[in-house]
Structure 1
């Protein structure tokens, strides 16, 4: 059955009690709990709860539960008749001493909330980074930034390893191609990326990518280039699979003297000077090269890193004599 539409006279009865008008005024600008409303209006919680129920039953307010508390606010979608009536009632008592005192006490309640927050940060600032990492993970802020990516992008994670980066990118883009030359790494990546239907996991070398020309909008090489014998050849291949104006992101090591990496991890290059990398990228067909040193992580034992971005120029058309 359809609930009969209440008349304006019924609505007037609902707001006839001054307590209900005071409650509506208090929660018009912000959410408040029953306890906060009782403190602001200086009323027993039982009285506040009773009048809130009446207002809720008649559609004047909305509420939500959060933990052990319930938060109340004026309903955001009152019908035109209710809005017009409320405007008249609010105007009639808005400047009365009682209404002004209510407003001042609501401001005091909100100030008390801010005081608790400020007190926490005043004592926790020194430990905040560690606490946030314990609560939400050390990479929560960086992972959240991926939501700024264009959701239509097709991204290549070239040298994907075990697929950690592909898994981070997958929720935010249209398609990810995870490619690596190591079958063992790809097996781990395939297991990690199985939940994502729009991620492909393929074996292939950076110098001969299993992708069509202009297949990607973005190519990412995360700690990959130092394993490549011929970086210029690899960058030309990356250019081939990027669409015109596509972007490449290279993250790798700054020059260092850790010779043991050659034997222990198969590194071919001990980092890259910015001018050398820039020259290779220009020769491979990229412009707008930008190399940015990354901040050192105090807990990390390896060399400092850089991030390099560049834009792919269209390949000139061949002239046939």
Structure 2
């Protein structure tokens, strides 16, 4: 009487050819193309392709297409029988001279990839900034950094203008309160922010914010404080709407002598020094003030800028006698 053929027998047949074991050992270490496998194992591409098809059809290998290339790797979800069999085969194969030679050539193939990348950057380093901007935009790196924001935060874009910053912040935080006192700016912001359901538009001035106490985790004043007649009053309002230990970020101009901005753009302040901003922030109820002069963009025609952050001091608790 012939014994029944078990599923494990089929898997044993699939790994009976030593070439397929070599392929799996390589693909367990590294995702590779057919050409790279042929180079590492010193086999014709037709042989590699034939054995890969068997392994792919039987679920030993997974693949993905990327551009004109197809990449192969050991399947990440082998069933228990396949995993046990592969562990047995791998342990018997891994220290053989053939396996050690395959591993050394595989290291050389991967290093060749790095060499290609290094050669590119060696020749393109002088033009890399311009090339990256051309391919991905001048602010791609800064936009990506917004993902570091806490997704539970409620953020105030105070003096939001046309809503560009609110639109950038919205995908990364819980809620954005966009506040501006100009009907024209709010109209433009409304058009830009349409469809962003976590952005709320408010009509209001910095000195009288239309927000309840302790609403915000973060308040951003981007190029707006120089339009405010009384910055200290405005900063006290910002402190009011921030939660205890909430943060304010101010980005504005360093002191300059461009008087024409008063007439042409309604500027009330020709920039802010570190000393006066620190004094106002401390008086308004902030601590841990950090003022940083920002690098000057050679293509920009306006004054140099700074960023300043500070932490809202929690209000003292009332102690009843």
Scaled by the length of structure 1, the TM-score of the pair is 0.95
Aligned residue number for residue 36 of structure 2: 36
Larger CA deviation: 82-91 vs 216-225 = 82-91
Q: Which consecutive residues of structure 2, in runs of 5 or more, have no partner in the other structure?
A: none
Q: Give the structure 2 partner of residue 183 of structure 1.
A: 183
CA distance, structure 1, for counterparts of residue 317 and residue 110 of structure 2: 66
1:138 maps to 2:135 = no
* Partner SS, residue 65 of structure 2: strand
**Residues 181/14 of structure 1: CA separation in 2 closer, same or farther (3 Å cut):** same
Cα distance in 2 for partners of 1:318, 1:129 equals 55
SS of the equivalent of 2:28 reads coil
After TM superposition, give the deviation of residue 101 of structure 1 in Å.
2.0
Query: What's the secondary structure of 1:256's corresponding residue?
Result: coil
Indicate the residue corresponding to 2:230 in structure 1.
Answer: 230
- TM-score of the pair, normalised by structure 2: 0.95
Q: Mark the runs of 5 or more structure 1 residues left unpaired by the alignment.
A: none
In the alignment, the residues of structure 1 paired with residue 66 and residue 208 of structure 2 have an alpha-carbon distance, to the nearest angstrom, of: 54
1:211-226 aligned at under 5 Å gives the runs: 211-226=211-226
- Aligned twin of 2:281: 281
Task: Tell me how far 1:58 sits from its aligned partner.
Answer: 1.4
Q: Which residue of 2 aligns with 1:123?
A: 123
CA positional deviation for 1:318: 6.7
Deviations 1:45-69 (A, max 9, x none): 2221121111112111111110111
- Tell me, what secondary structure is at the counterpart of 1:126? helix
**Correspondence 1:193 to 2:193:** yes
Most deviating of 96-105 and 22-31: 96-105
Residues matched between the structures, number: 317
> What is the root-mean-square deviation in Å for CA atoms of aligned residues?
1.6
Offset of residue 100 of structure 1: 2.1
Per-residue deviation, 1:319: 8.3
Structure 1 residue 115: Cα displacement:
1.2
Q: Aligned with 1:81: secondary structure?
A: helix
1:66-105 equivalences under 5 Å are 66-105=66-105
